[in-house]
Amino acid sequence: MGGSLLRPLKIGGKTVPVPVIQGGMGVGVSLSGLAGAVAGCGGIGVISTAQIGYRDPGFDADPIGCNLRAIGEEVGKAREIAGKTAGEMSGSGSRSIPGLIGVNIMVATKRYEDYVKAAVEAGADLIISGAGLPMTLPELAGNTRTKLAPIVSSLKSAQVIVKYWMKKYDRLPDLVVIEGPLAGGHLGFTPDELADIEGLRYGEEIGRIVSHVKECGERIGKEIPVAVAGGIYTREDAEKCFALGASGVQMATRFVTTYECDAADAYKQTYIDAEKEDIVIVKSPVGMPGRAISNEFMERAANGRIPHGRCHSCIVTCKPAETPYCITDALVNAVKGDVEHGLLFCGANAYRAKRLEHVADIMREFIPDGNG
């Protein structure tokens, strides 16, 4: 490829030394432990706000209240960890400039607007928002230092968001994340599209989105970086994205099997044990296709309804009386380590995990040449 294409990621007036965004993973897989470690190593650590307060004793009675309180707590903890990690690395002669702390908030979250406001109040550097089009995100975030990044999966969705934000709010995104068909969790593609990923020729779509975002930014003299997500596991994967015009990459699956990941060890072990054929497309009870590791729970869910208790007020599209199982219960079971009674979302490359790693070792792999 004629030398490394990787370079520091610039978002507005901020420079992120390592152009890696750690994708938000709920429930509880990416909290302050993982996000703080990634930011401390010069990347962007992202906390998932999806049922972020699940460990609070009052969660069953007041899930949204617990979640909103936990956003501030986790952002604060992550920033402390980032500072400590950066200091430790500086002492070892390595990188010492911390990156950013972001949060991922799904548009489909009940009371989405309150989650956005809580993240801004907590001082999050960046809000990444998908699972729907974040049309009102600029209004909710207000004129603050928090940067805004919509997630898109198609040129059409990028066009709609950018046009609306400019017309309604006279602003453009600070970053755009393109989430492709190899990503984990809920996906912005139809089952038919996911059955023929090669036929999507998605690299061409990435190029079209990058060009459109660049053109929109040039009209007002603003550089809008684009990060590509979905199937990024190694530096070589990242280089391919940069060759398509990306300014950064978002990775999630690779960070699950780290010592710093907030999930239970049993959760991480399922990734290490998984074979390629164990990774399947499933129908989520909230109405979207998703990618997960096949297990006993998924087999039971496919063969009948799994009884559940009171609603945890997670996703607006969920119909508690009709859902085959409670996705909150399933994800909480998994992150706590009860993997045979849990839903194990993952990216297409989860089977490549063979051992636990330290976040610092992964991040060194992606340091731009001349910046290590």
Q: How confident is the model at residue 317 (pLDDT cuts 50, 70, 90)?
A: confident
Per-residue DSSP letter, 234: S
For residue 304, the tally of other CB atoms under 10 A from its CB is 9
Q: Are strands 185-186 and 289-293 parallel, antiparallel or unpaired?
A: antiparallel
pLDDT at 370: 65
3-class DSSP state of 361: helix
CB neighbour list of residue 199: distance below 8 Å, 6 or more residues apart: none
The Cα 185–Cα 343 span in angstroms is 10
Percent of the chain with pLDDT over 70: 95
Q: H or E stretch including 178?
A: strand 176-179
Q: How confident is the model at residue 95 (pLDDT cuts 50, 70, 90)?
A: low
Six-digit token string for 119:
């993240």
Taking only the tens place, the pLDDT of each residue in 229-261 is 999 999 999 999 999 999 999 999 999 999 999
User: Residue 51 class from Cβ within 10 Å (0-12 exposed, 13-18 middle, 19+ buried)?
Assistant: buried
Peptide bond into 27 cis (omega under 30): yes
Six-digit token string for 51:
């049922």
Six-digit token string for 118:
């809580």
The Cα 312–Cα 247 span in angstroms is 37
Q: Where are the alpha helices (DSSP H) in the chain?
A: 32-40, 63-91, 112-121, 137-141, 155-169, 191-195, 202-219, 235-243, 253-256, 265-273, 296-302, 327-336, 359-365
What's the one-letter identity of residue 136?
Answer: T
pLDDT exceeds cutoff 80 at 217? yes
The Cα 105–Cα 119 span in angstroms is 9
Can you give the length of the chain in residues?
372
Please state, rounded to an integer, the average pLDDT across all residues of the chain.
93
pLDDT exceeds cutoff 60 at 372? no
pTM score > 0.85 for this model?
Answer: yes
> Taking residues 120-137, what's their average pLDDT?
97
> Taking residues 111-118, what's their average pLDDT?
98
Taking only the tens place, the pLDDT of each residue in 163-193 is 999 999 999 999 999 999 999 998 999 999 9
